[in-house]
Structure 1
Amino acid sequence: MLAVLSCIAVDHDPVSLVAAVLVCVLGSLLTMRLFSRVRSTRGPARASWIALTSIIGGSSIWTTHFVAMMGYEADALAGYEPTATLLSLVLAIMITGVGLFIAAVTTRSLLIEAGGAILGAGIASMHYVGMSGYQVQADLHWNMNYVWASLVAAGLFGALATNRVARPVTRFCRYGGGVALVLAIASTHFIGMTALTVEPNFSASLPANMLPESVMTVVLIFVTLLILAIGAMTYVIDRQSNRSAVERYRQLSLHDALTGLPNRMAFLERLGHLMDRPTARNDRIFIFSFDLDRFKEINDVHGHAAGDHVLRVVAERMSASLKPGEFVARIGGDEFIAVSPRLFTSGAAEAFARSIISELVSPIQWKGVTLSVGTSIGVTAFPDGADGIDDLMAQADIAMYRAKAAGSNNVCFYDKSMDQAARERSALAMDMRAGLLRNEFKLYFQKQNDTQTGEVVGFEVLMRWSHPTRGMVPPSEFIPIAERTGFIGELGDWVLRRACLEAVQWRNPLKIAVNVAPKQLANSALPERVREILDESGLDPARLELEITESGIIDDQQHALHIIRQLKAIGVKIAMDDYGTGYSSLSTLQLFPFDKIKIDRGFIDSVVENRQSAAIVRSTLILAQSLDIPVLAEGVENAEHLRFLQEEGCQQVQGFLYGKPQPVSELQDIVNPALSPVPSEQALKPGSAADMAA
């Protein structure tokens, strides 16, 4: 160690030594920075970065060595043989490139350190090939112990350099890699020079073609300037590339890829800026929330490509109609939100909303087909409404749903009464969860009867909620809330389990029909859950009928078909509920293996006086007969309904003519006839006093 320190302090000129250190530090840090870039680059660009890194790294190694050699005091005339000197530069560049390439192509293996060791070998090769071109009037003697020590140091520090960059533990490791490369170059040079003993021999002749130190100085200055220039250009290019990439990523993160419109994040950012203006509270900023009516049908019938085309056309139309300061964003699916800080009255805001509607309702052409959408717009304003962006968006959404309830292509302004309704729905959702735990929900059963004989063939299972303060809450109120909040799965599971546990106790093995919500059908775990409930209750699967609607199967027909086939394999029956209310019923019947069709009550209600309803019911019965699928008509309330269905050949009926939904305690004469003193035939008579009282 003392010999090495002596070599540094005594055998080298301080000025040249400082210059060599500066070149070494600058080149090493730049090389390791570029190596890090190589590792993060993929594709053809990686080869370019490796080439640049090897040139910078090899040149830095070579320049450091020869700048230090310019200050080496040999006490004799010295120069450099051109071929060996040039070869040492080529070797430094090539071996550096090979080592860094090997270290860059892997993420975790020891090839990282192996590549660094090869980099160290390149440093050592450059040193000793360069020294072979060192011409001096002296005899040169080498201490091989120091030579081997320099080789080991080069390999170890080279491996450490790539290790720190490729396996960082802190953000400073890339600088640690540069320091390790400095140590690799410096240790190789100074330990290698310690191995050299120079004995002046003034009788020795020097080759005529050697490069004198003055020429070598010019070459070194040129190479140093070249390294600095390439380093500066690399830094500028890298900085500009990063800035462009950041801007590009920002553009992508703030804009919808399909339509080019600002996305939710951009909307939040821009609205926040508008609301933070000093004049914001004196101005009025209107927010318009809307989505596309019939968009789902377009996707289902014509495919997602058609839906994407509609979204692009809508975006183009709205963008073209906007004035400076106004903007519209797509915040998800077919949901949009527009903002205008230029409107000062509600009348102007309504006119703006109407202009959006007029742009959207214009027909859209798609591959020879005319597509049309509608919309309803909810409007709120800042600072009239809430102070926060989330609250403003919620208010606009509430107003939009109120507009939809009034029909398509309507505009509705938010008012505080809407908030009250929303709070009531939220309170009802919380009460619903608590009510399930408090056994506030009860099962009611509505008879399903044979059309010709009137015999009870089964029951549809319905749910009733007896709220402690609200009284009886109709399903039309709490079922939509359960679907919207996701509670429908837990609620449906409870109904199915309780119904099976109840039905298995009956002496009369009648069938039970249980509704399955769309979100339940979308759950892949439904078949297994049904199997578990049947096993737990002991109910014969053939007695269970699951009723599904078209809305539950149309979103993902292949998934729904897979679920239904699994349910059929268990042995349960599948009925199509509310038949006739969908737009693709024929194709649905063709694709899905239904065991029963239930005609929606809306058609039965007017079947006697409305020719269209009668025609739909007749055609359904004919179609079902040809497919060998039994039909049940819902909503049979009088003898005229029943007579029509008997004449047309409908197999089963359900409705108030045979009785309203009742708790099982009032149906004991039917489900447990041996225990009831009342003849079961009484229950078969439509319009009995007991039924009407229910």
Structure 2
Amino acid sequence: MITVLSCIATDHTYGLLLLAVLVCILGSILTMRLYARVRRTVGVQQMNWLFMGGVIGGSTIWTTHFIAMLSFEPSLPHAYDPTLTVLSLAIAVGMTTCGLLVTALRKTGPTIELGGAIMGAGIAIMHYVGMMAYQVTGRLEWDPTYYAASIVLGIVFGALATSRIARPVTRFCKYGASIALILAITTMHFTGMAAITIVPDPLIPLAADMMPDSLMTIMVLALVCVMLGLGASTYIIDLHATQVAVERFRHLSLHDPLTGLPNRAAFGEHLSASIRSQSDDTARIAVLSFDLDRFKEVNDVHGHAAGDAVLRLVAERMTLVLGEGEFVARIGGDEFVALTSNFFMKGDARAFAARLVAEIVKPIEWEGRTLMVGTSVGMSLFPVDARTSEELLAQADLAMYRAKAAGSNAIRLYDSSMDDAARNRSVLAADMRQGITRSEFELYYQYQNSSQTRDIIGFEVLLRWNHPVRGKVPPLDFIPIAEKNGFIHELGEWVLRTACQEAAGWNNPVNIAVNVAPAQLADANFPQRVNRILLETGLSAARLELEITESGIIADQQHALHIIRQLKDLGVRIAMDDYGTGYSSLSTLQNFPFDKIKIDRAFIDGVNSNRQSAAIVRSTIILAQSLNIPVLAEGVEREEHMDFLRREGCLQVQGYLFGKPMPLSGIAHIVNAAPGTKMPVTRSAA
């Protein structure tokens, strides 16, 4: 009798055994790497990886078994049944593919381990079909204990292999998965071989059509070469494709998709690298910050397609005039930055800026139209002004804002006084946060009147800041700061709460209109805040009108529409403020449920002297009437304005003709009058 496992020391070829182990290790690693791809992909790509994983995995199982069998050299004549040998290969590939498919059905759940168990069961089935293919002049007797144990080992380690890929707990689990598959193959094989005892029987002949060891060796080695070559090349191709994709994503992440220029991140990297590379104490770097002038007009008049064309051509022109040591990037909107390290005198840096300005201001031909933009340029120098990229960019921005104040196409170098102005804004921002707790803010009210009867029909709520040191700070000074640093949410809620609280205590239930900042409208919780304030103060929602600007809805119209509809459901009225100064369009009025349109004061001031202003106001009133939306004209300061607006059918007005904004004490005689009392205002005494 011959016990197969006990014959390893005497009847096996060690070279083939080592080859079997090597094939098992390499194939298992490839199979688990391919299975990891299956987990990370979907659709057709996932099916491709699944098929490849099944072929490589099944071939690994089959070749490991038969190489180990070829290493076994019993004293008895033996050969291999070709049909069962091929069938065992098909079983190995099919069961492995089926197991991987089951694991891919769901990202979580027991199917992960179930698929691995199917793969392990495939190892066992392949093994025993392969042993059926092994023909020898003797009988094969099986030990049921080892037989059962081999099947259990294959299933357990198979389930563990897929589990370590699908449920990793550390970064080393990918190695544990390969080890588990190696153990599934080897423990199953050697335990299964331990179950076999060969009893020689010369009466059992070998069939004539059996494959000898030599032919079997050629077949196995050919499959090994094809399997490992196919698996390795597939993995290498995928790895290369991944690297190419990573490089492409990196390129996209560092470049502006519209102009193709480097973006803010790329500029930051380049500037930092340039600073680090300056070993010469006399070396200089100039950082330039550009902002296009009149670009908003191009967008407003000709549309965003024209604006995009302008940005692309400006970027192309600046790129063409760059020299050695010069770099340009687009960092957002109509903002560009550039740097040069190819200079030693400030005049050289100015010349670089002037060269770029000359390209920017050239006329741009677009669809038969000539478009013109200008620019404002701020510049900071390394190491004179700052030594870090962040400080250089910040100082160039400060200088650019100073250049904008000086007029189009101006170039300004940074100086320390600009920091003083920025510091002053920072101090104002800090004071503003304390202003609420110190009761420095106060609400003023401006009349809104009927153009026919001059009766008061409501008040617009305006915010005033009584600073203990600076005195009265104009809203134009502190509102932009609040919007920039995010304090506008807290400030806006204080205004709304205070206005509702004060109005709720009036005897005469006059309506109030409160401005809403774009940042407030962008807040998904804003309708809930409004509802809570109305409930807490007791003000009727019908008395509250919220004024929003077009800039508050243009960034994300669907979100803005959703917020406005929620506000309307509360019973609050919505007015479009400053109509005509932004992106006004018929579609905006059609899509948004406005209860009022407020024409900006800039148009009202010129209705008697400027034909364009008069035409804009007239067309707005006609359009609003056709949509059944009331119109209120702001900035009414003269009777000539009133005469024009009455003729054109504008029913509501607001302006200094009826009175300047006043604190609550100034309108107490109106709001505390008996309900229903008409309070006409003929003309401002101011």
> What TM-score does the superposition give when structure 1 sets the normalisation length?
0.84
In the alignment, what sits opposite 1:58?
A: 58
1:7 touches 1:193 (CA, 8 Å); kept in 2?
Answer: no
- 412-421 or 136-145, which deviates more: 136-145
In the alignment, what sits opposite 1:490?
A: 490
In the alignment, structure 1 residue 166 sits paired with structure 2 residue 135? no
In the alignment, what sits opposite 1:406?
A: 406
In the alignment, what sits opposite 1:378?
A: 378
Counterpart amino acid of residue 141 in structure 1: E
SS at match of 1:26: helix
Say if 1:475 and 1:6 are closer, same or farther in 2 by CA, change over 3 A. same
Say if 1:10 and 1:421 are closer, same or farther in 2 by CA, change over 3 A. same
Counterpart amino acid of residue 413 in structure 1: L
In the alignment, what sits opposite 2:431?
A: 431
1:274 touches 1:280 (CA, 8 Å); kept in 2?
Answer: no
Counterpart amino acid of residue 274 in structure 2: L
CA distance in 2, matches of 1:467, 1:83: 97
Deviation of the 1:571 alpha carbon: 4.9
Give CA deviations for 1:190-231 in whole Å, capped at 9, x if unaligned: 222222222233454333444443454455455445555445
CA distance in 2, matches of 1:236, 1:467: 69
In the alignment, structure 1 residue 290 sits paired with structure 2 residue 290? yes
Deviation of the 1:327 alpha carbon: 2.4
CA distance in 2, matches of 1:203, 1:620: 110
In the alignment, what sits opposite 2:146?
A: 146
Deviation of the 1:174 alpha carbon: 2.4
In the alignment, what sits opposite 1:677?
A: none
In the alignment, what sits opposite 1:472?
A: 472
Give CA deviations for 1:240-269 in whole Å, capped at 9, x if unaligned: 334333323322322233332222222211
Say if 1:391 and 1:570 are closer, same or farther in 2 by CA, change over 3 A. same
Say if 1:7 and 1:117 are closer, same or farther in 2 by CA, change over 3 A. farther
Give CA deviations for 1:89-126 in whole Å, capped at 9, x if unaligned: 34333433333343345422333333323323332333
In the alignment, what sits opposite 1:187?
A: 187
In the alignment, what sits opposite 1:20?
A: 20
Counterpart amino acid of residue 79 in structure 1: A
Deviation of the 1:597 alpha carbon: 5.4
1:75 touches 1:200 (CA, 8 Å); kept in 2?
Answer: no
Counterpart amino acid of residue 141 in structure 2: H
- 628-637 or 527-536, which deviates more: 628-637
Deviation of the 1:440 alpha carbon: 0.8
1:444 touches 1:461 (CA, 8 Å); kept in 2?
Answer: yes
In the alignment, what sits opposite 2:359?
A: 359
CA distance in 1, matches of 2:622, 2:123: 90
1:492 touches 1:517 (CA, 8 Å); kept in 2?
Answer: yes
CA distance in 2, matches of 1:637, 1:47: 74
Give CA deviations for 1:436-485 in whole Å, capped at 9, x if unaligned: 11111112233455667765554433222121222221222112212222
2:459 touches 2:513 (CA, 8 Å); kept in 1?
Answer: yes
CA distance in 2, matches of 1:613, 1:464: 30
CA distance in 1, matches of 2:80, 2:645: 112
Deviation of the 1:142 alpha carbon: 3.0
Say if 1:16 and 1:436 are closer, same or farther in 2 by CA, change over 3 A. same
Query: Residues 103-118 of structure 1 correspond to what in structure 2 (within 5 A)?
Result: 103-118=103-118
1:375 touches 1:410 (CA, 8 Å); kept in 2?
Answer: yes
Counterpart amino acid of residue 20 in structure 2: A
CA distance in 2, matches of 1:614, 1:63: 90
Say if 1:222 and 1:370 are closer, same or farther in 2 by CA, change over 3 A. same
Counterpart amino acid of residue 278 in structure 1: Q
In the alignment, what sits opposite 2:534?
A: 534
CA distance in 2, matches of 1:538, 1:655: 29
SS at match of 2:375: coil
In the alignment, what sits opposite 1:512?
A: 512
In the alignment, structure 1 residue 156 sits paired with structure 2 residue 156? yes
Say if 1:485 and 1:16 are closer, same or farther in 2 by CA, change over 3 A. closer
Query: Residues 563-578 of structure 1 correspond to what in structure 2 (within 5 A)?
Result: 563-564=563-564, 567=567, 570-578=570-578
Deviation of the 1:420 alpha carbon: 1.0
Query: Residues 449-460 of structure 1 correspond to what in structure 2 (within 5 A)?
Result: 456-460=456-460
Say if 1:47 and 1:568 are closer, same or farther in 2 by CA, change over 3 A. closer
CA distance in 2, matches of 1:582, 1:246: 41
SS at match of 1:384: coil
CA distance in 1, matches of 2:194, 2:527: 81
- Identity, in percent, stands at 60
1:255 touches 1:266 (CA, 8 Å); kept in 2?
Answer: yes
Give CA deviations for 1:260-309 in whole Å, capped at 9, x if unaligned: 22222222111111110133653222222234445556556666555444
In the alignment, structure 1 residue 88 sits paired with structure 2 residue 88? yes
CA distance in 2, matches of 1:212, 1:627: 93
In the alignment, structure 1 residue 394 sits paired with structure 2 residue 394? yes
SS at match of 1:483: helix
Mind listing any 5+ residue stretches in structure 2 that lack a counterpart? none
Deviation of the 1:604 alpha carbon: 5.6
SS at match of 2:256: coil
Say if 1:122 and 1:495 are closer, same or farther in 2 by CA, change over 3 A. closer
Say if 1:393 and 1:31 are closer, same or farther in 2 by CA, change over 3 A. same
- 43-52 or 606-615, which deviates more: 606-615
Residue-pair matches, total:
683
Counterpart amino acid of residue 205 in structure 2: S
Query: Residues 13-412 of structure 1 correspond to what in structure 2 (within 5 A)?
Result: 14-202=14-202, 204-230=204-230, 232-234=232-234, 236-279=236-279, 281-296=281-296, 304-364=304-364, 371-412=371-412
Say if 1:607 and 1:179 are closer, same or farther in 2 by CA, change over 3 A. closer
1:534 touches 1:540 (CA, 8 Å); kept in 2?
Answer: yes
CA distance in 1, matches of 2:60, 2:624: 86
1:658 touches 1:687 (CA, 8 Å); kept in 2?
Answer: yes
Give CA deviations for 1:13-45 in whole Å, capped at 9, x if unaligned: 555444433333333233323332343344444
CA distance in 1, matches of 2:460, 2:436: 20
SS at match of 1:376: strand
Counterpart amino acid of residue 31 in structure 1: T
1:300 touches 1:555 (CA, 8 Å); kept in 2?
Answer: no
Say if 1:219 and 1:425 are closer, same or farther in 2 by CA, change over 3 A. same
Counterpart amino acid of residue 93 in structure 2: I
Say if 1:281 and 1:437 are closer, same or farther in 2 by CA, change over 3 A. farther
Say if 1:578 and 1:407 are closer, same or farther in 2 by CA, change over 3 A. farther
Counterpart amino acid of residue 180 in structure 1: A
Deviation of the 1:371 alpha carbon: 4.9
CA distance in 1, matches of 2:595, 2:439: 33
Say if 1:275 and 1:121 are closer, same or farther in 2 by CA, change over 3 A. same
CA distance in 2, matches of 1:333, 1:78: 80
SS at match of 1:375: strand
Give CA deviations for 1:379-422 in whole Å, capped at 9, x if unaligned: 22222222221222222222222223334443332222111111
CA distance in 2, matches of 1:619, 1:243: 59
1:74 touches 1:198 (CA, 8 Å); kept in 2?
Answer: no
1:300 touches 1:554 (CA, 8 Å); kept in 2?
Answer: no
Counterpart amino acid of residue 474 in structure 1: P
2:5 touches 2:193 (CA, 8 Å); kept in 1?
Answer: no
Deviation of the 1:581 alpha carbon: 4.2
RMSD over aligned CA atoms reads 3.9
Say if 1:373 and 1:190 are closer, same or farther in 2 by CA, change over 3 A. same
- 543-552 or 431-440, which deviates more: 543-552
Deviation of the 1:428 alpha carbon: 0.7
Give CA deviations for 1:604-657 in whole Å, capped at 9, x if unaligned: 656677777677667777777887776655555567777877888876655555
Give CA deviations for 1:122-175 in whole Å, capped at 9, x if unaligned: 323332233233233333333344333323332222222222233222222222
Deviation of the 1:356 alpha carbon: 3.1
Say if 1:88 and 1:621 are closer, same or farther in 2 by CA, change over 3 A. closer
SS at match of 1:490: helix
Deviation of the 1:425 alpha carbon: 0.7
CA distance in 1, matches of 2:622, 2:380: 52
Say if 1:557 and 1:143 are closer, same or farther in 2 by CA, change over 3 A. closer
